[in-house]
A and B are shown apart, each in its own frame.
Chain A
Amino acid sequence: MKMKMTSVAALLLVALMAVGVSYALWSKTLYIDGTVETGDLNAEFDLTVWSWEALDEFGVPIDPPSKVEDIIVNVYYGADNQEIYVEIEELYPCIYIHIYFDLINPGTVPWIVNNFIQTVPDFPGTVTFSPIGLIGTQLDPGDPPIPMGIVVHLDNTADEIAQYGFSAEIEVVQWNEYPLP
């Protein structure tokens, strides 16, 4: 009797194994492992080739250059390449200082200029930023830079040996978020 029971148990075990194998053979499990690496939205000023020149009101270089040899123009980065300082020394009325630099997209995501805010409080003259219509300009990664310019001009209300300031902010946003609500 004991032997008979043992045989039945063994038989059942074998049967179960057989059923199990056959079940496993008739199913598949597929796996998908996903990772997402986000891009880098970045915009910077590029001062590697910045330059300046002194022109008259007609856009003609001041001749002879000795007339403007005392004027000093410096453009340099602030805390990072997203801030620049422009310094003009010994400027006098009627000269137009043109400063040229670039705006680049060193990131991996296209962006569009969403906003441009210029602040020129009590400036005795004009500060003009270019290009005109910068808002809405899109720059893809690797595209040629956007050439930017600032033209600073003092009129005759400027005091001698004085200091005046101006500032601007450029906001860029991911290309498919433009315009921001």
Chain B
Amino acid sequence: MNRKLTATFATMLIALCLAGVSYAMWSKTLYIDGTVDTGDLDAIITFWFSNDPPGTLDPRPIGATYPAKDVGETVCTIDAVDPQKCYTTIYNGYPCYNVHYTITIMNTGNVAWIMQGIKIDDTTLPNNQWVSFDVDGDGEPDIEFYITDSIGEQVEPGDSIETSLDTHILQTANQGISDRTFTIEVLLVQWKEYQP
């Protein structure tokens, strides 16, 4: 009796296997495997200088008749470790001291970007318009900034953009301002995300 049961079980097992094989042979499963590697939006500052480096005569407005003097000076440096940062310091500035900065930003990633805007101490700077700041908190503007035609420009990977920034110390600036730091942020966005 026991032997008969074993034989029946074995037969059923074989039958099941056969049924399974025949089923598998009459269907197919196809596979799609996908991977997506994302790109790199990146930029570095490659050039940053002013028109009044140490040891040069102060810039004068066009048409100025007074003699040029070397009174103030502006030092520009790019961070050696992180070239996404740069620094500038104005020494011995005075009312009407006007400095023109040139900055070159290179697209070192593989995604095109557009300069969305420039902020100074969280204040957005519009294109081609002076914006003044009270740096010592006395309620009077001390310095003003001007960005020229750079917002909205697109830069392809490997290309660079050169833009200019002007600063002008105002008559209402107090004497003796020192160690007052301002932060300029240049926001670059992926070209598809630019909002005019």
Q: Spell out A's residues near B (CB within 8 Å).
A: 41-45, 56, 66-67, 70-71, 78, 82-95, 103, 109, 111, 114, 123, 127, 129, 150, 152, 154, 156, 158-174, 177, 180
Contact A174 B156 (CB under 8 A): no
CA distance A92 to B47 in the complex (A): 27
Determine if B66 is an interface residue (Cβ-Cβ < 8 Å): no
State whether A83 and B33 are in contact (beta carbons under 8 Å apart), knowing that A41-B25, A90-B110, A173-B27 are contacts in the complex.
Answer: yes
Contact B35 A87 (CB under 8 A): yes
**Shortest Cβ distance from residue A179 to the other chain B in the assembled complex, whole angstroms:** 12
**CB < 8 Å neighbour of A93 from B34, B37, B193:** B193
| Interface members, chain B 114-162 (any A CB < 8 Å) | 156-157
**CB < 8 Å neighbour of A67 from B26, B112, B193:** B112
Determine if B30 is an interface residue (Cβ-Cβ < 8 Å): yes
Q: Which residues of B contact A150 (CB under 8 A)?
A: 32, 34
Q: Which residues of B contact A94 (CB under 8 A)?
A: 190, 192-193
Contact A167 B34 (CB under 8 A): yes
**CB < 8 Å neighbour of A164 from B38, B40, B112:** B38
Determine if B39 is an interface residue (Cβ-Cβ < 8 Å): yes
Q: Which residues of A contact B40 (CB under 8 A)?
A: 90, 160-161
**Shortest Cβ distance from residue B195 to the other chain A in the assembled complex, whole angstroms:** 12
Which residue on A lies nearest to B112, using beta carbons?
A: A67
Q: Which residues of B contact A42 (CB under 8 A)?
A: 28
Contact A82 B38 (CB under 8 A): no
Closest 4 CB pairs of A and B: A94-B192, A86-B34, A90-B39, A70-B110
CA distance A173 to B24 in the complex (A): 9
A and B contact pairs by CB, cutoff 8 A, 29 listed = A42-B28, A44-B30, A45-B32, A70-B157, A82-B29, A83-B30, A83-B33, A84-B32, A86-B32, A87-B34, A87-B37, A90-B37, A90-B111, A91-B36, A92-B39, A92-B192, A93-B193, A123-B36, A154-B36, A156-B193, A160-B38, A161-B37, A163-B38, A165-B34, A165-B35, A167-B34, A171-B28, A172-B28, A174-B27
